[in-house]
Structure 1
Amino acid sequence: MNTNTIEREIAIEAPVERVWSLITQAEHLGTWFGDAGANIDLRPGGALEVRWDGHTLIGTVDAVEPTSRFTFRWHQLDTPAGADLTEQNSTLVEFTLTSEGDTTHVRLVESGFGSLALPAEQQVAMHADHSGGWPVELGHLKDHAAVVAA
């Protein structure tokens, strides 16, 4: 079993431009992925913050290719405020969007668990936790797309 990478796909009945905005705009990201808001500076190197259930995801935007690809790194270890994101303390999340008529196919890949500065059993446990979480979060994205005005 690969415990370094998670891959998930989902089809959403919405145009690619709308799904792109749901993934990259703070007002939407902070609703379907977080439940207490988000901030995003949508440019490579820009800051990303998503809040939910008393937790805060802190990350950095890695790549922005409008309507097709969005990637970010997010902290996985306790690190000092302002610390750089590296392969030893963060994982890379990549959303790839492809359009097929009014349906958008979203492919999510999260990678880098094997590079984290953690014992192997903790890397595997984190991978398992995220593997179970992404189907839930992608379901929230699909549900959110169904209720957001076109």
Structure 2
Amino acid sequence: MNTDRIEKTVMLHASRERVWRAISSADEFGLWFGVAFKGSFAENTRMTGTIVPTTVDADVARMQEPHAGMPFEFVVDRIEPMDRISFRWHPFAMEPGVDYSHEPMTHIVFELEDSNGGTRLTITESGFDRIPIERRAKAFAANEGGWEHQSQLVGKYLALHAGA
């Protein structure tokens, strides 16, 4: 088992252009992911926002509800239109009052590929082996499950907003 990297792949029944907009627009990303962002995604930009329950799945929204209102932060690393967008963050940085800024960040990449009848989205988060040992396993487990949910949420979002 790889302890440094999580990878999820999902086939989305939407055009590459539509999937790109869902992952590269801060507003659209926030609706399915569960964050109200301040501002737009731009390379080398620190994004801040607030956790809000997703709008596309009631069960996941209930799991996010205890965290509603908590600050959320990541850095937009690179934007390669129609191909990939990447971010850096402090994984599972959910403990109120804890300063995670001294810890290394993990790297998240959303990558698009054309596929029969839609678009293949691969989400990869790497860098867990650099996280302090006392948090590493919990952060990995939480994000493994989180990316499983998020890979499904983006598909549900696209199905609900196909014509948008």
Scaled to the shorter chain, the TM-score interval is 0.7 to 0.9
Aligned to 1:109: 124
Which runs of structure 2 are paired with 1:1-150 in the superposition (5 Å)? 1-34=1-34, 36-52=35-51, 53-76=68-91, 77=93, 78-79=98-99, 88-116=103-131, 118=132, 120-148=133-161, 149-150=163-164
Question: What is the TM-score of this pair, normalised by structure 2?
Answer: 0.78
Q: Deviations over 1:81-133 (max 9, x none)?
A: xx6xx8x33111100001125401000100111112x2x24201110110011
More helix by share: 2
Q: Gaps spanning 5+ residues in structure 2: where?
A: 52-67
Gaps of 5+ in 1: none
* % identical equivalent positions: 29
Higher mean C-alpha deviation, range 40-49 or range 15-24: 40-49
Q: Does structure 1 conserve the Cα–Cα contact (< 8 Å) formed by 2:128 and 2:140?
A: yes
In 2: Cα distance, 1:102 partner to 1:95 partner: 19
| Cα deviation, residue 59, structure 1 | 1.1
The 3-state SS of whatever aligns with 2:159 is: helix
Once superposed, what is the RMSD of the aligned Cα atoms?
2.0
**1:54 is paired with a residue of what secondary structure?**
coil
Mark the CA change 1:33 to 1:126 in structure 2 (over 3 Å): closer, same or farther. same
Q: Which letter maps to 1:51?
A: T
Does the aligned pair in 2 maintain the 1:40–1:48 contact within 8 Å? yes
- Amino acid paired to 1:45: N
Q: Deviations over 1:5-44 (max 9, x none)?
A: 101100000001110110111221111001x522354332
Q: Stretches of 4+ moved more than 4 A in 1?
A: none
